[in-house]
Amino acid sequence: MNDTYFQDQVAVVTGAGGTLCSVIACDLAERGARVALVGRTPAKLQVVADKITAAGGNCRIASCDVTDERGMQQLADELLADWGPCRFLVNGAGGNNIKAMTTLTAFDASELGDARPEGQVGFFDLDMEMFEQVLNTNTLGTVIPSRVFGRQMASAGGGSIVNFASMNSYCPLTRVPAYAMAKAAVVNLTEWLAAYLAAANIRVNAVAPGFFVNARSVQYLGSVQSGLTPRGQKVIDHTPMGRFGEAKDLLGCVAWLLDDRASGFITGATIPVDGGFLTRSGV
Ligand SMILES: NC(=O)c1ccc[n+]([C@@H]2O[C@H](COP(=O)([O-])OP(=O)(O)OC[C@H]3O[C@@H](n4cnc5c(N)ncnc54)[C@H](OP(=O)(O)O)[C@@H]3O)[C@@H](O)[C@H]2O)c1
């Protein structure tokens, strides 16, 4: 499926060892791009690299924490020297952490007492270190790669960035205050950067996936195969298409947003890929 537009261009995909961006990285490699796979765990990236290589694609493992600006700059310098400037950046690294979630969906007077029910976590009990980590990964983890690779794009005459928002970007879900706040910020940053970088011929957009099962979310949503949790059932009931998303549901949208031929006058947009979740008020 080589495509002259992507052929030999440098694409950087952060979170490339994860559920969604591993599939996006494989798709960009299949289109002919040279793909840098960014994440903190080399073993996860190796699995994706092996898949790409076996299919005849070109990629390299670029292990780094997206919140480490110095590390990311070093990575960007190495890539520039070996491959040339980045043209496409997919900021997929991110996600929630169960330790930054409440178990309660609304304030309960028991939060104020000493004898709390076992396992209960309210807003006042939240671990602020984890809260900050979730905020940083999703926000600074989008800002930093956009700075180090955006600079390369600007020097080379242009490029395209796709960020990862969420349903939480529009209206916060219960129990995930840090993640919801961070993903709302990603939409705002996408708009800010789009306005700022248009003069450098760089477009900046975002995708907002609905509910896609990954290793973490399966703990609180369940799965169709193993049984849904009450929260998972609520999500499905609220999704007109009646299912969770699969990574391949994102491929067309991401490739379209990266491609000037298809979306060359679109910047600052966040596109929901959600089976219709946002169309249903719940009433
Ligand atoms: N799944 C969904 O339903 C859903 C819905 C809406 C939005 N999203 C967003 O879509 C993106 C991808 O989600 P996913 O479901 O594929 O999640 P995932 O399977 O957990 O993958 C996320 C990847 O990001 C990497 N990562 C996390 N923190 C990082 C850091 N500080 N530096 C570098 N890499 C880091 C992780 O690898 P390491 O731990 O090895 O670094 C992991 O492989 C995320 O931004 C997520 O918030 C997902």
Does some domain include residue 25? yes
Q: Is the same domain home to 142 and 227?
A: no
Instruction: Please state the atom number of ligand 1 nearest to the C-alpha of residue 164.
Output: 45
Cα(267) to centroid(ligand 1), Å: 23
Which token pair is 55?
């299919």
Does some domain include residue 185? yes
Let me know if 220 is a catalytic residue.
Answer: no
Cα(234) to centroid(ligand 1), Å: 23
**Residue carrying the six token digits 């993640």:** 179
Q: Is the same domain home to 37 and 63?
A: yes
Q: Is the same domain home to 236 and 140?
A: no
Does some domain include residue 87? yes
Q: Is the same domain home to 36 and 65?
A: yes
Tell me what pLDDT residue 219 has: 83
Nearest residue CA, atom 47 of ligand 1?
Answer: 95
Q: Is the same domain home to 77 and 170?
A: yes
- Structural domain of 92: 10-99+131-210+247-275
Q: Which of 137, 214, 217, 239 to mutate to test the pocket of ligand 1 (most atoms within 8 A of CB)?
A: 214
194 near 159, Cβ under 8 Å? no
Options 5, 170, 179, 220, the catalytic residue = 179
Q: Residue 257: which CATH number? A: 3.40.50.720
Residue-wise pLDDT tens digits, 60-74: 999 999 999 999 999
Q: Is the same domain home to 193 and 253?
A: yes
Does some domain include residue 90? yes
Instruction: Please state the atom number of ligand 1 nearest to the C-alpha of residue 93.
Output: 24
Cα(18) to centroid(ligand 1), Å: 6
Confidence of residue 135 (pLDDT cuts 50, 70, 90): very high
Give the pLDDT mean for 221-250: 93
Q: How far apart, in whole angstroms, are the C-alpha atoms of residue 101 and residue 84?
A: 41
Which token pair is 186?
């990603």
| pTM across the whole model | 0.97
Does some domain include residue 253? yes
Does some domain include residue 34? yes
- Cross-strand partners of 162: 90, 205
State which of 1-15, 17-31, 203-217 shows the largest mean pLDDT: 17-31
Q: Is the same domain home to 78 and 178?
A: yes
Q: Is the same domain home to 152 and 220?
A: no
Q: Is the same domain home to 191 and 154?
A: yes
Instruction: Please state the atom number of ligand 1 nearest to the C-alpha of residue 91.
Output: 45
Does some domain include residue 124? no
Evaluate if residue 1 carries a pLDDT over 80. Answer: no
Does some domain include residue 259? yes
Q: Is the same domain home to 137 and 240?
A: no
Give me the amino acid identity at 81: A
Q: Is the same domain home to 239 and 177?
A: no
Nearest residue CA, atom 37 of ligand 1?
Answer: 39
Q: How far apart, in whole angstroms, are the C-alpha atoms of residue 109 and residue 283?
A: 28
Q: Which of 12, 13, 14, 19 to mutate to test the pocket of ligand 1 (most atoms within 8 A of CB)?
A: 19
Q: Is the same domain home to 225 and 160?
A: no
**Residue carrying the six token digits 């976590």:** 121
Cα(247) to centroid(ligand 1), Å: 12
Domain count, the chain: 2
Residue-wise pLDDT tens digits, 22-51: 999 999 999 999 999 999 999 999 999 999
Nearest residue CA, atom 43 of ligand 1?
Answer: 18
